[in-house]
Amino acid sequence: MSKNIFLDAPSIGALEKKYLSKAIDSGYVSTVGPFVSRFETQLAGFLKASSGVSVQSGTAAIHISLYELGIGCGDEVIVPALTFIATVNPVIYLHAKPVFVDVDIDTWNISAKDLEKKITKKTKAIIPVHLYGNPCNMDEIMAIAKKYKLYVIEDATESLGAVYKSKHTGTFGDLGCFSFNGNKTITTGGGGMVVGNNRRRMEHIKFLVNQARDEVKGYYHPEVGFNYRMTNIEAALGLAQMEKLEIFLKKKNLFNDVYQENLGGIPGLKFQKQYPGAKSSWWLTAITFENGIDVAVLQKKLQARGIPTRRTFMPLVEFPYHKKYKQGKYKNAYRIYENSLCLPASVLNSKEDTYKVCKAIKGVLER
């Protein structure tokens, strides 16, 4: 059993040190070096996407995707009310308008029914978020996008390895965005990636993230670009992590199985549900209480027992600069936020640690 139980800490060991040493010994530590293209190829291959472009963060991935698709001032972009702030900030960067949509009470993902109601003549794109690794209903979302001729940028930053009807999340829409922050399933320290199947579009994104530099002409920049390139050191770490990805995914799935088996019978306690044909990557296993339990108090009691947890995301319409975009009540988003907790899912934990978490939750609830 681990000495400590971790919420979402990464697993970094000898293999990562080996790859990092290779990068350092090569002298390529910045944005030039062979590991970057290798990492892009490996991740795109894993996802069965045509190509990938590495960037500095999941936020950068979403930003450059919106920019590439021509989203700008006055355009509307539909986003779920329950997600991390990085889903929406890039919309603001481009002076577009985020249109918040409530989520499904069972899956916690964007409600297709509410989504269609929010479409106007100014709507240009949808950003579905596969929250905590749980795939959205991409059949419905893609059908709506096709009907209204909208772009789809998948926020798959939390869902690497998740599958919807035998296809990886991040590969349904026009572009898919991934994050390799330190708390994600695999990490490059920071980092992210855009994947897609349109060759011209992906080549232009690659050009843009390198300051839009025409290298044939030297330091010549024909359009505005971005310094979003991943470093060779970060990519080296990513390559090592890719070798462990299947192990990480199996472990997270195991943890979820233990939680479901041991906590599933508790009255009023519910887990995120999956859509038919969906297979979550279980980046984090999250639970909801429907019996009046104060989750803030529960969280403190678990922390006192050495069990780290975290609250689900606060509805984005609560933030001062988003309140002007609020349309409606977002009842499900608030209900989930007020009654839910994310449980330890770090691959540093063991199966026995997960049993310990279950025992602690039962112990607190019985008092």
Work out the average pLDDT over 80-97.
98
Percentage of the chain with pLDDT > 70?
Answer: 99
Confidence of residue 1 (pLDDT cuts 50, 70, 90): very low
pLDDT tens-digit readout, 295-327: 999 999 999 999 999 999 999 999 999 999 999
Fill in the amino acid letter for 355.
Y
Asked whether 248 and 186 are in contact (CB, 8 A), the reply is yes
Q: Quickly tell me which residue has 């139980």 as its tokens.
A: 5
Per the prediction, the chain carries an average pLDDT of 96
pLDDT tens-digit readout, 114-173: 999 999 999 999 999 999 999 999 999 999 999 999 999 999 999 999 999 999 999 999
Work out the average pLDDT over 98-103.
98
Q: Does the pLDDT value for residue 2 go beyond 70?
A: no
Asked if the 245-366 domain carries CATH number 3.90.1150.10, the reply is yes
Q: Which of 25-39, 86-100, 338-352 has the lowest mean pLDDT?
A: 25-39
Angstrom distance (rounded) from CA 323 to CA 316:
8
CB < 8 Å & 24+ apart, contacts of 195-201? 195/43, 195/44, 195/47, 195/49, 195/50, 195/51, 195/52, 195/53, 195/170, 195/171, 196/49, 196/50, 196/51, 197/49, 197/50, 197/51, 197/171, 198/50, 198/174, 199/50, 199/51, 201/68, 201/174, 201/175
User: What is the structure's pLDDT at 310?
Assistant: 97
Confidence of residue 226 (pLDDT cuts 50, 70, 90): very high
CA dihedral 178, 184, 187, 191 (to 10 degrees): 40
User: What is the structure's pLDDT at 292?
Assistant: 87
Work out the average pLDDT over 242-252.
98
Cα within 13 Å of Cα(134), Cβ side: 20
Percentage of the chain with pLDDT > 90?
Answer: 95
Where along the chain do its domains lie? Answer: 14-242, 245-366
Q: Does the pLDDT value for residue 367 go beyond 80?
A: no
Work out the average pLDDT over 327-331.
94
Angstrom distance (rounded) from CA 318 to CA 334:
10
Angstrom distance (rounded) from CA 108 to CA 97:
23
Q: Does the pLDDT value for residue 239 go beyond 70?
A: yes
User: What is the structure's pLDDT at 356?
Assistant: 98
Confidence of residue 30 (pLDDT cuts 50, 70, 90): confident
CATH topology of domain 14-242: Aspartate Aminotransferase; domain 2 (3.40.640)
Confidence of residue 33 (pLDDT cuts 50, 70, 90): confident
Rounded to two decimals, the pTM is: 0.97
User: What is the structure's pLDDT at 29?
Assistant: 87
HEC-encoded secondary structure of the chain: CCCCCCCCCCCCCHHHHHHHHHHHHHCCCCCCCHHHHHHHHHHHHHHCCCEEEEECCHHHHHHHHHHHCCCCCCCEEEEECCCCHHHCHHHHHCCCEEEEECECCCCCCECHHHHHHCCCCCEEEECCECHHHCCCCHHHHHHHHHHHCCEEEEECCCCCCCEECCEECCCCCCEEEEECECCCCCCEEECEEEEECCHHHHHHHHHHHECCCEHHHCCECCCCCCECCCCHHHHHHHHHHHCCHHHHHHHHHHHHHHHHHHHCCCCCEEECCCCCCEECCCCCCEEEECCCCCHHHHHHHHHHCCCCCEECCCCHHHCHHHHHHCCCCCHHHHHHHHHEEECCCCCCCCHHHHHHHHHHHHHHHHC
Fill in the amino acid letter for 202.
M
pLDDT tens-digit readout, 152-166: 999 999 999 999 999
